[in-house]
Amino acid sequence: MRDIENISDIKVFVDAFYQKVQQDDSLGPVFESRLAGHWADHLEKMYDFWNTILFSKGSYKGSPYQKHEALPVGKNHFDRWLELFEDVLRSKFEGKQTDEAIQRAKVIGWTFWSKMAQYQSAHDQENN
Q: What is the pLDDT of residue 80?
A: 95
In this structure, is residue 119 part of a structural domain? yes
DSSP per-residue codes, 98-119: HHHHHHHHHHHHHHHHHHHHHH
Q: What is the pLDDT of residue 113?
A: 76
Distance between the two ends of the chain, CA-based, in angstroms?
A: 53
**Per-residue confidence band for 126, with pLDDT thresholds at 50, 70 and 90:** low
CA distance 113 to 26: 16
Q: What is the pLDDT of residue 116?
A: 72
In this structure, is residue 2 part of a structural domain? no
98 touches 90 (CB < 8 A): yes
In this structure, is residue 98 part of a structural domain? yes
Largest CA distance in the chain: 53
Question: 74 — phi, psi (to 5°)?
Answer: -120, 180
Q: What is the pLDDT of residue 119?
A: 59
More confident residue, 115 or 43: 43
What's the pLDDT tens digit per position in 4-48? 999 999 999 999 999 999 999 999 998 898 889 999 999 999 999
In this structure, is residue 49 part of a structural domain? yes
Instruction: Supply the range of the domain harboring residue 69.
Output: 7-126
CA distance 14 to 88: 9
In this structure, is residue 59 part of a structural domain? yes
In this structure, is residue 1 part of a structural domain? no
CATH of the domain at 84: 1.10.490.10
Domain count across the chain: 1
User: Is residue 127 pLDDT above 70, yes or no?
Assistant: no
What's the pLDDT tens digit per position in 39-95? 999 999 999 999 999 999 867 777 665 665 556 667 888 899 999 999 999 999 999
In this structure, is residue 23 part of a structural domain? yes
